A and B are shown apart, each in its own frame.
Chain A
Amino acid sequence: MSNLTNQESIPNIMIIDDMPENLDILSGMLEEKGYKIRPVTNGKSALHSIKISQPDLILLDINMSEMNGYEVCSQLKNDEKLKEIPIIFISALNDTSDKLKAFSIGGVDYITKPFQHDEVIARIDTHIKMHYMQIELEKHNTELESLVLSQVKEIYDSQMATIFSLAKLTESRDDDTGRHLERVQIVCRTLSKNLLKKDKYEKIITTEFIDQIYNASPLHDIGKVAIPDNILLKPGKLTAEEFEIMKTHTTMGAETLEYSFKLYPKNKFLKMGIDIARHHHERWDGSGYPDKLSGENIPLCARIMSVVDVYDAMRSKRCYKEPRTHEETLNEIIKYGGTQFDPEIAMAFNDMNKEIYDIWEKMKD
C-alpha cells in the first residue's frame, strides 16, 4: 500500500518501549519494509531525542516503568512544535480501556501485542502515507500560490508597461520632453519615500502609495492629446484665450481616466491618476487651476507631482526657453513654498535635493 520508493526521504519512525524484545520484533518488521528505525527504551530519553530531531511517526508502548505512554503522549501533544507527529500506541490485546484512553489523548491508532505483522505494517503505512500526503499537499498549495502570484504580477507589470507606453505616446507630440516621464516617476517615488519619514505622513504614505505614484505620475499630462498643435507646440507665449484651452488638459485627462474608474471603482491606481491629472496645476494658495483648490484640499499626490513637474520642466530645454541650473530651480521651489507649493513638500524636496540632482544628471536628455 505505501509507496516508499516514491518518497524523497526514508520515513523515520521512533519506537518507545521498555521491553528490548518488543523493540527487536518491531524494528525487524519495519526495517524490512524500508523504514528508518529509532528505538528508545524510556519516555525521558525519547522526549529528549524527539526535540533534537523529529520522527515522522511514533510507536509508543502504554505500559512502561517511570514514565508511561500516556504521559509521553500528553507532553508531545502539549508542545506546539511536536503535537502534529502521529502517535500509534502499543497495547495489550483486548484491553478496551487502554484503547479508549489512547484515542482520547491524541493517539491516531494502536497496535496490539502479540504483534500481527500485517496489522502493524498496515497501520503504520496508513499514517505515514497520510503524513506525507499532507506535506505534499502543502507543497503543492504553496507552489500553486506562488504561480498565481507571479502570474498576477506579470499581468500587473504588463498593464503598467502598456499604460506607460500610451502616456509616452501622448508625450511624444510635445516638443523634446525626452525622458521627462521616466524622471518624474523616479523623483516622485524618491520624494514620497522621504515624506514617509515625517510623522504626519507615516500612515498616509504606504508602500502601496509609493508604488501607485510611481505608476500614476506619467499620466499627469495625458489630457494634452486633446490640445491642438498650434497651442501645444507654439514657440512663443500663449494668448489668454490659448492658455484657457491649454488649461483644459487637466480636466480632459481626468475625465478620460474617470471613464475607466467608473468601471473599476475600487482601483486606487486609477483614482490617483485622476487626482494627479486634474490637480497637478493647483497651487497651495488657491490660485491654480482647474478647481482653485488650496492647501491640503489638493490631493497629496498632486501636491508632490506639482513640485516634481515644475523642477523637471525648469531644468529642461524647451523650444521657448533655455534650461535652468539645479540651484536656480531649487531656489525657486523654496521661494514658492507656501504660495505655489505645499511648504512641507518644498522643504522635503530641499532636504533631498542632492539625491534628486543625481537622478536628474543620470537621466537627463
Chain B
Amino acid sequence: MYNKSIFKEQADILIVDDTPENLDILIQLLKNTRYNIRPVTSGKTALQSVLYKLPDLMLIDIYMPEMDGYTLCGIIKNDDKLKNIPVIFISAHTDPDEISKAYSAGGVDYIIKPFNHEEVLKRIETHLKIHFLEIELDECKTKLSKYEKNL
C-alpha cells in the first residue's frame, strides 16, 4: 500500500529528554531500526541541532528545566523552515489537560510513559510515513506542473 520510495533515505530522529536514563531507553528501543538517532538533553541544544540539520521527526519530553517541551514545540511550529517536522510528545502525565495542551502546541501525537515498544515504533512509523508522503506529494505536484507547462 505504501509507496516503496517512502523510506529510501534513512530517517533522522531527534530525541529531546533531560533525563539520560529516559534517553537511553529510547535509544535502546530505536537501536535496531533503520533510523538515525540524535539524542539531546535540552531544548536549547535541540534547537541548535535542528537548525544544523532538519530531522524527519522529533520525540520531545514535556517536563524539562529551562525550556519545557511545549515551548520547544511552539518555537518549531512558529518557524516556517521547521514547522513541517512532526513532533511526538512523550510524558508520564495522563491528565487530559496536559494531553490537550500537547496537541494544541502542535504535537501530532502523545505517548504516555511507561510506553510499550510496539506502540512507540508504530507511531513513529506512521508519522514518518505521513512526513515522507507529504514530501513525495510535493515533488509529484512540482513535476506535474512542469510537465503541464511543457505540453
A residues at B contact (CB < 8 Å): 1, 84, 93, 96, 99-100, 103-104, 108-109, 116-119, 121-123, 126-127, 129-130, 133-134, 136-137, 140-141, 143-144, 147-148, 150-151
CB distance from A282 to the nearest CB of B (A): 44
Chain B residue with the shortest CB-CB distance to A1: B108
Across the interface, B116 reaches (CB within 8 A) one of A99, A118, A136, namely: A99
Residue-wise, chain B 124-135 has the 8 Å CB interface mask toward A (1 for contact) of: 001101100110
CB contacts (< 8 Å) of B79 on chain A: these are none
Across the interface, A140 reaches (CB within 8 A) one of B94, B104, B118, B144, namely: B144
Q: Could you give 21 example pairs across A and B, Cβ below 8 Å?
A: A1-B108, A84-B1, A93-B94, A99-B116, A99-B119, A100-B118, A117-B96, A117-B100, A122-B109, A126-B109, A126-B130, A127-B126, A129-B130, A133-B133, A136-B137, A137-B136, A140-B140, A140-B144, A143-B144, A144-B143, A147-B151
Across the interface, B141 reaches (CB within 8 A) one of A1, A103, A140, namely: A140
Would you call A108 and B140 a contact (CB within 8 A)?
A: no
CB contacts (< 8 Å) of B141 on chain A: these are 140
Q: How far is the CA of A109 from the CA of B118 in the complex (A)?
A: 10
CB distance from A114 to the nearest CB of B (A): 9
Would you call B108 and A118 a contact (CB within 8 A)?
A: no
B26 at the A/B interface (Cβ < 8 Å)?
A: no
Would you call B143 and A137 a contact (CB within 8 A)?
A: no
Q: How far is the CA of A117 from the CA of B101 in the complex (A)?
A: 12
Would you call B118 and A144 a contact (CB within 8 A)?
A: no
CB distance from B5 to the nearest CB of A (A): 10
Would you call B126 and A109 a contact (CB within 8 A)?
A: yes
Q: How far is the CA of A1 from the CA of B107 in the complex (A)?
A: 9
Residue-wise, chain B 49-68 has the 8 Å CB interface mask toward A (1 for contact) of: 00000000000000000000
B7 at the A/B interface (Cβ < 8 Å)?
A: no
Residue-wise, chain B 87-125 has the 8 Å CB interface mask toward A (1 for contact) of: 000000010100110111001111000001011001100
CB distance from B64 to the nearest CB of A (A): 21
CB distance from B141 to the nearest CB of A (A): 7
CB distance from B26 to the nearest CB of A (A): 18
Across the interface, A122 reaches (CB within 8 A) one of B94, B103, B122, B130, namely: B103
Would you call A108 and B126 a contact (CB within 8 A)?
A: yes
Q: How far is the CA of A147 from the CA of B100 in the complex (A)?
A: 45
B80 at the A/B interface (Cβ < 8 Å)?
A: no
Q: How far is the CA of A141 from the CA of B3 in the complex (A)?
A: 11
Chain A residue with the shortest CB-CB distance to B133: A133
Q: How far is the CA of A140 from the CA of B134 in the complex (A)?
A: 13
Would you call A137 and B148 a contact (CB within 8 A)?
A: no
A119 in contact with B143 given A99-B119, A140-B137, A151-B151 (CB within 8 Å) = no
Residue-wise, chain B 1-20 has the 8 Å CB interface mask toward A (1 for contact) of: 11100000000000000000
CB contacts (< 8 Å) of B99 on chain A: these are 116, 118-119
CB contacts (< 8 Å) of A137 on chain B: these are 3, 133, 136-137, 140
Q: How far is the CA of A100 from the CA of B116 in the complex (A)?
A: 8
CB contacts (< 8 Å) of B104 on chain A: these are 118
